[in-house]
Amino acid sequence: MNIKSPSIFIKAQANHHAVFIILTGCTLLIATIIFSAFFWQPFRLTLIFILLLSFIMIITGLCKKLEPKFSFKLTPDTIQYHHRYGSWFIKWDQIQSINTVTETHGLSTEQLPYIGIKFKHFEDIAEQISPRLASRLIHEQRPLLIFAVLHQLLSMEDTQLNFSNYKLKTGKILKGPLAAFMHHSQILFKGFGYHLFIPNASMDRENEEFCQLLLQCKKSSQNYQ
């Protein structure tokens, strides 16, 4: 987190240790190649497994390196989310509530690895999210839909992808991934009471701590207006 300016930068947990994983994978690969030159026949299956493991480590590390350096930029006016597939931004005054996503079963409460955001006017997000990210989030948030069905928060019919056009109150017609994302977000709101979901992997701390940070930023933003 960088606090030298009014903006706060958050680095995702998923980006941590990328260089270490790449170097470990490369070291393992080189060592295995050298070892196999002398002992390939007696240890063939083991060496093949280690080679595959080293390739997986290298690819995993490279994928982490391809992620944006910072997953969030929190400014006095907005919260900005950066993903490999695009970005979204929200003005603090567009947000009605921010909270951890929980579900109560009898006397127990289960916390999901997300923070939920509820908009004052849901359709604001249509102009503030990139189409590629909108499409990606539909797939990344499938676990939420599965959870909702298993706990009878939604029906199976609710979880079907809807690619029909979406008409905004302004009269504008959305098509393609943006339309599908709007339908998808409405279904999630029906099940959980939030329009937008921040995954734990994009944070640099626990859900409760990150939620408190966002709430503090939202409150502080009023001082800049």
Q: What share of the chain is helix, strand, coil (3-state, %, to 5)?
A: 50, 25, 25
pLDDT-based confidence at residue 13 (cuts at 50, 70, 90):
low
pLDDT digits (tens, 9 = 90+) for 144-166: 999 999 989 999 999 898 999 99
- pLDDT value at position 42? 81
Please write the tens of the pLDDT for every residue from 27-60: 888 888 888 888 887 888 888 888 898 888 888 7
Taking the model in full, what pTM does it have? Answer: 0.77
Q: Which amino acid is residue 151, in one-letter code? A: H
Burial of 40 (0-12, 13-18, 19+ CB in 10 A): exposed
The 10s digit of each residue's pLDDT in 69-85 is 788 999 999 999 999 89
